[in-house]
Structure 1
């Protein structure tokens, strides 16, 4: 049965929009900070005289630090008021990014990247936690669509602009620009993010270890974690190898590759809002199942694509990004309702850590499934597609196993069944 979200009063709508765009801006800066490292690889390996493996460690240092800090943060994050925690973490991220821009060599850049991951990894989870605390469940799908559109915007504008800045002033400049923008965004967040302390009154003071055990001792949390990890696994067996497959097997030229991400980013910038609207109108579980089912076709098509024209490639890859990233909108809205409100920060921090680990493991598995022929063609990529399709089909059933606590954060939780 379709469900209809009730509109908020005009004043509430304005405050919610300011909050969500502030959170989206925070998401944008730390996503660009993570993504910009990969295209800077050729310049950094040349300037620092490092190997590809050393550069790979430089890239993975961020994710590994984010995973570790997310797990540690889950033990204490619910002891702090949300706004204060957000501003503290964002200030740390801004300083770490500034240090990246000022780093004179490989070792110092590595240290700065670890620091950026420590703060940036927790930021993403805390942003989602604040959406769960501040936005009623009946409007949370649209809210998550706004916040998660930051990923699309970073692909369309953030990375190309950063690369342009790097071409004009060197690899330092993008990080300095992100740090400068973060100062302004932090000031905006200080004005637009409300004080959120209700969870403090709902929780019993426990030790860090007891708090972590409480998060991981709840069976429903594990069902939600499994949902989250399956979403990541279905994406990151494929995504890291799109460029090498389309250039080696499909026939794309190196200068055509950015068009894949530009087209996908522009499309998802609009469809993320659409999936959010549908989630609130028709139900988050139903929308998740619809978008996930639609994602199977481009998963299989992309990983078995023969040599075709650029337009065919763009249609397939854009459909892949629209549906694979689109399921994250209702998926993350559901995850914010899986824990009790008093444990939401700890749960989302642990979830972010598990997502980071799953992304790394999935990319590693994807690498094991593919190989190169003597002619240099990628072989076995179709296995990545079938694995992603299998996890997606499993998700269609598994999403119904997660029990929701929507009524704890929303005046009306009528638009979603409590499973």
Structure 2
């Protein structure tokens, strides 16, 4: 196993910063659930629409962009998309009501979802497969940073300046990160050979005509279906049924984020050392335990809840590290950008459907408690069992880049 080189680390931390901003932008909606449902007078199902709209928009835009993303140099595409994301996030902060916020969330999803695919594509182009587990560990540590710093700070800003404030802050940070990306991301254009002259529909047809791509799409959808029927409603369930106070919510994300910050890179190292498929299967099976525990949790002391939620963050996010390393190797490098855009489109669609389904499965009893949340846990069990079997059907391209 080879360690990452210095130039790779600089690139990866820049990409992680981009991931950090658009992940915080997506995640902050979930702990704001109780506040937004009260302020706008909306139901849990309508709140689920606010969450899922981002993912569904990301899916639609990813499918469209997949037809021509490989016709552009990677750095230029990254900077334009990231600028659009920053403007859409600013629009979220300026939204005066539910309808305009929903529209702004759709716009943010259009840019944010494609950014995720492009970041993964750049990792696949720039880092050899034998180091890609470590690379994904660094890039996906953005999830940890978003939970340990982004979400708690955003919640503090929301308590101080209203729910609009976190979106203004994310937009401001995005401007600084954009400047850093302009300075540090290298020009990547080896993939352009023989591709740029092709009609857009031809590129999409090439992607969807490969059987192995559909196996990867299936794995990607299974990876998020169970977990995203649970994640948007964690705050609503724990504050309503488990006894967590509103002022204790940031602690859940802070402790979970600290834990995942250290374990994300550990999963990447283990994946490169012991095999990405084996580590993916092992972490996925263990992740079922906190998913079932969280969705069945009664009123418990806060320390018990924190053990369960921290285990949820560590293992559910942990399976994404080897999982995404495998997905970057599921396509020929010259189709990687288009393939990952389609993959992220379908994955975002699956996330949106799962978030919507989670909202449909829960309801409120006469006492105001959430009912039906345990169904999401059983859904996670079924999808994990399928995923552990399905990953063995994936064929890998282990060449290091599109040269």
**Alpha carbons of structure 1 residues 392 and 55: separation in structure 2 relative to 1, 3 Å:** closer
**Alpha carbons of structure 1 residues 208 and 24: separation in structure 2 relative to 1, 3 Å:** same
TM-score by length of 2: 0.91
Distance 2:98 2:343 in 1: 31
**Alpha carbons of structure 1 residues 171 and 240: separation in structure 2 relative to 1, 3 Å:** closer
1:7 aligns with 2:3: yes
**Alpha carbons of structure 1 residues 184 and 373: separation in structure 2 relative to 1, 3 Å:** closer
Which residue number corresponds to residue 326 of structure 2? 334
Distance 1:327 1:397 in 2: 14
Cα drift, residue 265 of structure 1: 1.5
Could you give the per-residue CA deviations for residues 325-378 of structure 1, whole angstroms, max 9, x where no partner exists?
Answer: 100000000000001111111111111111111112223333444444444444
Could you give the per-residue CA deviations for residues 124-171 of structure 1, whole angstroms, max 9, x where no partner exists?
Answer: 110011011101111111111111111121112112212323333444
Distance 2:357 2:59 in 1: 18
2:303 maps to which of 311, 323, 327: 311
Question: Does structure 1 retain, via aligned residues, the 8 Å contact 2:16–2:142?
Answer: yes
Distance 1:255 1:51 in 2: 22
1:237 aligns with 2:229: yes
Larger Rg: 1
Distance 1:386 1:107 in 2: 33
Give the root-mean-square deviation of aligned CA atoms. Answer: 2.4
Which residue number corresponds to residue 145 of structure 1? 137
Tell me whether 291-300 or 267-276 shows the greater mean CA deviation.
291-300
Which residue number corresponds to residue 261 of structure 1? 253
1:280 aligns with 2:272: yes
Distance 2:295 2:162 in 1: 35
1:158 aligns with 2:150: yes
Cα drift, residue 279 of structure 1: 0.9
Question: Does structure 2 retain, via aligned residues, the 8 Å contact 1:137–1:410?
Answer: no
Which residue number corresponds to residue 83 of structure 1? 75
Gaps of 5+ in 1: 412-419
Tell me whether 393-402 or 138-147 shows the greater mean CA deviation.
393-402
Gaps of 5+ in 2: none
Which residue number corresponds to residue 416 of structure 1? none
SS at match of 1:386: helix
1:297 aligns with 2:297: no
1:361 aligns with 2:357: no
Residue correspondences, number: 402
Could you give the per-residue CA deviations for residues 379-413 of structure 1, whole angstroms, max 9, x where no partner exists?
Answer: 443332222112112222211110000125399xx
Question: Does structure 2 retain, via aligned residues, the 8 Å contact 1:136–1:410?
Answer: no
2:18 maps to which of 3, 26, 29: 26
Alignment of 1:103-252 (within 5 A): 103=95, 108-201=100-193, 203=195, 205-252=197-244
Tell me whether 123-132 or 210-219 shows the greater mean CA deviation.
210-219
Cα drift, residue 117 of structure 1: 1.9
Distance 1:235 1:173 in 2: 28
Question: Does structure 1 retain, via aligned residues, the 8 Å contact 2:242–2:299?
Answer: yes
Could you give the per-residue CA deviations for residues 64-106 of structure 1, whole angstroms, max 9, x where no partner exists?
Answer: 3212111101111011111111011112212222333445566
